Amino acid sequence: MTTSRIYRASALAAAALMSTTVLAACGSGGDDAPAAKNSNGVTTITAGKLKACTHLSYKPFEFKDGSKVVGFDVDLMDLVAKKLGVEQEVVDIEFATITSGAAFAAKKCDAGFGATTINDKRKKAVLFSDPYFDSTAALIAKKDSGVTDLASLKGKKLGVQTDTTGQEFADKEKGANGYTPVVFDDLPTQLAAVLSGRVDAALNDNGPLLDYAKDNPTTTVVKEFDTGEQYGLMFKLNDANGTKLAQLTNEVLKTAQADGTYNTIYKKWFGVDAPK
C-alpha cells in the first residue's frame, strides 16, 4: 500500500511537516468568511480553510502538543489542504458524529479523520478515501498482570473505546473468553484505567497502544490480532462536492506514496519506514 522509496525532496512534504494546524471548538466559525470554491472546483464550508473533524486524543494519529493539534493523520490532511491552497482547521468533536455522517450534515466539517477503519456500516454514512494505513487490533496490560491474550482475561475486565471496531471485536469475543467489557469515551481514559487497575487490559488499535507502551514502561502490548483493517479519510456521502474532495484526496495520497512524502510522514511518527 505504501512505498519507502523517496524519489525527490518534495516541497509539498516540507510544507506539510512545517504547517501550523488550528484547533477549533465544535461550534466555532461564526465570524469566518463564507464558503468559497477554489481552483480545484471544491467548495469549502469556510473560505480559506479546510475544516477537518476528529476526536482527540489518539496519539500518534491526532493529539494536542501544547496549543497545536499534531499527528500522522493531521499531516496527511495538511497535504490535502495545501493542494486546495487553504489552511487546515481541526474541529474536535465526538467520533460517532463523524462516522455517522451527522457532522457533515450539520456543516461542521469538510473532511474527517481519526484512524478510522473502513467498514460496510460506515460506508452507508460517509464517503471514504482510498485506504492509507493498515492496522491490527492490540491488547495492552500492565507487565505484572499475567494477561497474555483474551483467554487469560476470563472473569476480568477489558477496557474498550466506544464506537470503535475494537469495541465490536471485544463484544464478538467476550462469550468465548469470559471477560466483561468496560466502555470508555476516549483513548486516554481507557488507558488510564489500565494504569489504575480499574480494568485488567484494554483493546484498541496497535499504533496508539504501541506508542503508549513506549511512554509508559509499566505497560506492554501482549497480543496483536490481524483483523485486516484499513483506515480511510472521510467525506460527505452522496454529495457532489464531497465526492470531488474525496477524489482530490485520493490523488494527493497516490502522489505522496509515489514521491516519498508519505514515507517521510510515516517515519516522523512511527520511527520506521512505511511498509511496502
pLDDT band at 40 (very low <50, low <70, confident <90, very high): confident
The domain of 237 spans: 11-132+232-270
pTM of the model: 0.77
pLDDT digits (tens, 9 = 90+) for 68-127: 999 999 999 999 999 999 999 999 999 999 999 999 999 999 999 999 999 999 999 999
Question: Which range among 7-11, 112-116, 175-179 shows the weakest confidence by mean pLDDT?
Answer: 7-11
Half-sphere exposure of 11 (CA within 13 A, CB side): 2
**In the chain, beta strands by DSSP E:** 22-24, 36-37, 43-44, 49-54, 63-65, 68-70, 87-92, 111-112, 126-128, 133-142, 157-161, 180-184, 201-205, 219-231, 234-236
Query: Is 87 a domain residue?
Result: yes
How confident is the model at residue 212, as a pLDDT?
93
Q: Is the dihedral of CA 34, 40, 42, 45 positive or negative?
A: negative
Q: Which residue has the higher pLDDT, 9 or 157?
A: 157
Q: Mean pLDDT over all residues of the chain? A: 88
Query: Is 275 a domain residue?
Result: no
Whether 249 and 189 share a structural domain: no
Query: Is 208 a domain residue?
Result: yes
The count of structural domains within the chain is 2
How confident is the model at residue 271, as a pLDDT?
83
Give the mean pLDDT of 143-150: 96
